Amino acid sequence: MSTRRYTRDCSCGHLTPAQRNTFGRFRSSQILKFARLSLKLATIFAALLVAGSICIGAQRQQAPQQKPPDNYTGIFVEPDQALFATMCALDAAGFAADESTLSEMPSRLALREAMLKMQGPATEALRQFYHDHLLGDPGETLSRYITFSLVVGPPPRFDFQVNHDLLPPDVLAIDGFREILAAFYEEARLDSQWANVQTEYERAAATYQAPVRKIVFTTNAYLREILKPVYDRTFTVYVEPLVGARTNFRNTGNHYAVVVGVPAQIPIEQIQHAYLHFMLDPLPLKYRKQVDSRRALLPIAAGAPRLPEEYRDDFLAFADECFIKSVELRLRRLPAAQLESALNDADQSGFILVRPFVAGLQKFEKGEPSMSYYFPELIAAIDVPAEQKRLRNVTFSPEIPATPAKESESAASASELDRLLAQGDRELARKDAKAASATFEGILAQYPGLPKAEYGLAIASVMAGNADRAEQLFAQLVSAPPPAAAAASNPENAADPAILSWSHVYLGRIHDLEGEREAAVHEYLRALAVEGAPESARVAAQHGVDEPYKGRAHGSGNEK
């Protein structure tokens, strides 16, 4: 599954047999009676386990052990010093933090004011770096730094906890910030500042204890799962007041994290959604082959204007998200009329597997096995021909129009050009190469040399099997001036790193298919050298370096 914003770089491990309820495998009435009693006892045990085990503590600083202690669950609610230091740095840089949540935290509010007045060489370097990497959307700006804080260790060094080549794209986009933060940490004496506000932070984290405990208990009880923790799999709710009402969900491998502020209402639904990912993400991965057998439904979903882009060519992620949405609906225990309305909304938004998953869950609720065992049956129950027939009568909702406020913030977002580009992208998602080619050719007639349109036309050419035209277009894209130089002369014609890197990857693949291995490797290496290239392009390029590309019988041709 690909990383997404609420990013998922899911390389999750599988649940162990001890995490599953094994009673559902037996069929004799006597053993089933015993199973029902055992399940009740297991649920009580799970409740006791959860009730005393969600703790406040510095879990990222714990030394690994072979066997977790009895009270360890891998579930934490806590503040975090790396996140605190990052937010202090953003304070000093002038980030417009949400101060509305600091009315009960006078020490933290005073610290923010002090950070804004900071002076010194490290502070000036920090402010310059922040200015150089500022995005138009404050939420997107904050997102990068939150992701950074979750992949580094504690102060004062903030060492990366994963290999540099595996860092999320958000973090690669602010490469160099770690050294700047370490210098600022010393200059601002953030160790002393943390000591002054730590009590307030821990008090804020304590308000999340009961709600998170309830989420864990109700979710595990519904799934009939007993959480048997291991050190290398964690779910953490990090409490940082300055993120305000924003809720950020990330996971790196097996470490899931939700970053929350201290709003008037605790974001229960967002935390529960993240916890369901923690519990359920391993299942589509474990049963990848069974899930993939339903892939024929993805092109239908991809035609929905409201379906987020990250699901249009990643069936595993799409099925996983639909699965989680279906469990959320069952946990809400909606009346029949409200449930039907929610299922219609899911269909019309493109999440077309929610309805069959909900039907399967209604049967699951009457059975005995845990979800770990039942999931293959849930997938097997999805009748692809029946769903294809049903979906002929579904009308997808149109795109949500931009609000006047957003139009005033960025007039380009509602421009005719953007509308046409989005139309072309949807046609690519539907694998309608002819329509996409016509759309992108129309754009290029009005905006000659526009990289996004050239790239879209090149992808459409790949889909149509026109390798010569695709190669010509990709070659034009990679021979254009560097993005920085192009942006200075004509911002509209500046190719972004994603387009540039993927163009090199596609050129490499074309050379591989033509038996020109040396030229192919050259293109893959050029893709790896593109600064700011997305992780997906880097992975594809590295695969190309490692072995020749042989083509895909059912590839989408639209991987970017």
Residue 362 — very low, low, confident or very high, per pLDDT cuts 50/70/90? very high
Task: Tell me the Cα Rg of the chain.
Answer: 25
Residue 441 lies in a domain: yes
Q: Are residues 386 and 457 in the same domain?
A: no
Q: Are residues 105 and 187 in the same domain?
A: yes
Q: In terms of pLDDT, which residue wins out, 406 or 267?
A: 267
pTM beyond cutoff 0.75: no
Mean pLDDT across 258-268: 88
Most confident of 16-30, 275-289, 391-405: 275-289
Strands 234-239 and 248-252: unpaired
Taking the CA atoms of 106, 112, 116 and 119 in sequence, report the sign of the dihedral they define: positive
Burial class, 395, CB count within 10 angstroms (exposed 0-12 / middle 13-18 / buried 19+): exposed
Contacts of 254-259 with CB under 8 Å at 24 or more apart are 254/11, 254/12, 254/13, 255/150, 257/150, 259/83, 259/146, 259/150
Mean pLDDT across 387-397: 94
CATH number at residue 534: 1.25.40.10
Q: Are residues 379 and 431 in the same domain?
A: no
Residue 237 — very low, low, confident or very high, per pLDDT cuts 50/70/90? very high
Q: In terms of pLDDT, which residue wins out, 252 or 363?
A: 363
Give the range among 176-190, 329-343, 384-398, 400-414 with minimum mean pLDDT.
Answer: 400-414
**With 70 as the cut, is the pLDDT of residue 531 above it?**
yes
Residue 54 lies in a domain: no
Mean pLDDT across 27-34: 30
DSSP category for residue 427: H
Residue 365 lies in a domain: yes
Q: What is the mean pLDDT of the chain?
A: 80
Q: Are residues 369 and 428 in the same domain?
A: no
**With 90 as the cut, is the pLDDT of residue 216 above it?**
yes
Q: Which of 442, 459, 448 is nearest to 490 (CA)?
A: 448
Residue 540 — very low, low, confident or very high, per pLDDT cuts 50/70/90? confident
Q: At what angle do helices 535-546 and 517-528 cross, to 10 degrees?
A: 150
Structural domain for 459, as ranges: 422-546
Residue 417 — very low, low, confident or very high, per pLDDT cuts 50/70/90? confident
Say how far apart CA 352 and CA 349 lie, in whole Å. Answer: 8
Mean pLDDT across 439-465: 89
Tally of domains in the chain: 3
Give the range among 163-167, 348-352, 485-489 with minimum mean pLDDT.
Answer: 485-489
Residue 299 lies in a domain: yes
Residue 253 — very low, low, confident or very high, per pLDDT cuts 50/70/90? confident
Residue 140 — very low, low, confident or very high, per pLDDT cuts 50/70/90? confident
Structure tokens that stand for 252 in this block: 């790196």
Q: In terms of pLDDT, which residue wins out, 103 or 412?
A: 103
Q: Are residues 440 and 534 in the same domain?
A: yes
Instruction: State the pLDDT at residue 481.
Output: 59
Instruction: State the pLDDT at residue 306.
Output: 93
Instruction: State the pLDDT at residue 436.
Output: 87
Instruction: State the pLDDT at residue 2.
Output: 34
The torsion angles phi and psi of 77, rounded to 5 degrees, stand at: -130, 115
Q: Are residues 377 and 482 in the same domain?
A: no
Residue 462 lies in a domain: yes
Give the range among 80-89, 193-202, 393-402, 503-512 with minimum mean pLDDT.
Answer: 393-402
Instruction: State the pLDDT at residue 429.
Output: 65
**With 90 as the cut, is the pLDDT of residue 21 above it?**
no
**Domain final position from 166, 201, 236:** 201
Q: Are residues 530 and 466 in the same domain?
A: yes
Q: Are residues 535 and 436 in the same domain?
A: yes
Mean pLDDT across 200-220: 93
Q: Are residues 298 and 385 in the same domain?
A: yes
Structure tokens that stand for 102 in this block: 């600091």
- On whether the CB atoms of residues 229 and 73 are closer than 8 A, the answer is yes
DSSP category for residue 267: -
pLDDT digits (tens, 9 = 90+) for 494-525: 557 888 988 999 999 999 988 999 999 999 99
CA 303, distance to chain mean position in Å, is: 21
Instruction: State the pLDDT at residue 315.
Output: 94
Residue 69 — very low, low, confident or very high, per pLDDT cuts 50/70/90? low
Instruction: State the pLDDT at residue 260.
Output: 92
**Domain final position from 153, 169, 201:** 201
Residue 290 lies in a domain: yes
Q: Which of 266, 268, 287 is nearest to 276 (CA)?
A: 268
Q: Which of 355, 356, 353, 357 is nearest to 371 (CA)?
A: 357
Q: Are residues 196 and 92 in the same domain?
A: yes
**Domain final position from 173, 201, 229:** 201
Mention every residue, 6+ apart, whose C-beta is less than 8 A from residue 30.
none
Give the containing element (helix H, strand E) for 461.
helix 451-463
Give the range among 181-185, 304-308, 411-415, 428-432 with minimum mean pLDDT.
Answer: 411-415
Instruction: State the pLDDT at residue 303.
Output: 93
Q: Are residues 441 and 384 in the same domain?
A: no
Q: In terms of pLDDT, which residue wins out, 27 or 56?
A: 56
Q: Are residues 120 and 190 in the same domain?
A: yes
pLDDT digits (tens, 9 = 90+) for 319-350: 999 999 999 999 999 999 999 999 999 999 99
Beta bridge partners of 259: 238, 248
Residue 16 lies in a domain: no
Residue 560 lies in a domain: no
